[in-house]
Chains A and B, each alone.
Chain A
């Protein structure tokens, strides 16, 4: 399993986009730009929904409406994050898979993506029909915000390991 992963990481580093990200001083900032632009859109739309589920801020729209209206850009943001992240990863894939902070980041990304999927895709429309949201909705929103903090913390720690 581990050998396959290392072989895959080596292959990624040799791909045209892997080489470009690693070796071109000009390409790297642009790839990072893709990742960060996606993160802004994804996190921005995601937090807007979480805060509405928590019932803080403007309550003129229900959480169900907020989920519905931001749905497209939430997904677009997520897709851009993955694209940029995959390219950044390809540049130095072997170093990333050996990095404990990166392993944590990926490990925490899974529950974040799952919570996000369950909330945005399904539950916000059920829990968010009324102005007051149920306790479970607030709990899910808090969990999601905390998972965001955890994933970003792990990301920030990558260069230190």
Chain B
């Protein structure tokens, strides 16, 4: 199935046309940094380490819509990069770890976004929220690390 995807005409064109593949890679890196950075700032705000003078609800409202647009583009471009070499990527264990970490991190980002409105009503952000934000931050660090380990451990990418 993955081999078939790799052999599809448009995937082959994408994989063999330098500027097309570069454009997809640039989109992937840029939107990925954008998403992670935006979520990280809100995480830091929840933990009381950034933008303390700004209301948490307002900061989340400003950053999250863009973060999710970035996320959508990162997933789309990531899938395109995967497709060009799908047969090799699909069985990669570290890649599975990366995808799992992305999914869990995205769920945490969603929890933070929903929680931000609620937590902002309290005079002090609840301790449980700070722990969730810390886990969210650490999950992103783990996600980036797993992505960097793929070429090191499995020679892909």
Which residues of chain B are within 8 angstroms of A7 by Cβ–Cβ distance? none
Closest to A71 in B: B51
Q: Interface digits, B16-28 against A, CB 8 Å rule (1 contact, 0 not)?
A: 0010001001100
Q: Is B37 an interface residue (CB 8 A)?
A: yes
B6-14, B55-63, B82-90: which one contacts chain A? B55-63
20 further A-B pairs in the complex, CB-CB below 8 A; given A39-B33, A44-B38, A69-B54: A25-B152, A32-B144, A33-B141, A33-B144, A33-B148, A36-B144, A40-B40, A43-B33, A43-B34, A44-B34, A45-B37, A47-B38, A70-B41, A70-B50, A77-B37, A148-B30, A152-B26, A155-B29, A156-B26, A160-B22
Interface residues in chain A, defined as those with a beta carbon under 8 Å from any beta carbon in chain B: 25-26, 28-30, 32-33, 36-37, 39-45, 47-48, 51-52, 57-58, 60-61, 65-66, 69-70, 72-73, 77, 148-149, 152-153, 155-157, 160
Interface residues in chain B, defined as those with a beta carbon under 8 Å from any beta carbon in chain A: 18, 22, 25-26, 29-30, 32-41, 44, 50-51, 53-54, 58-59, 61-63, 65-66, 140-141, 144-145, 148-149, 152-153
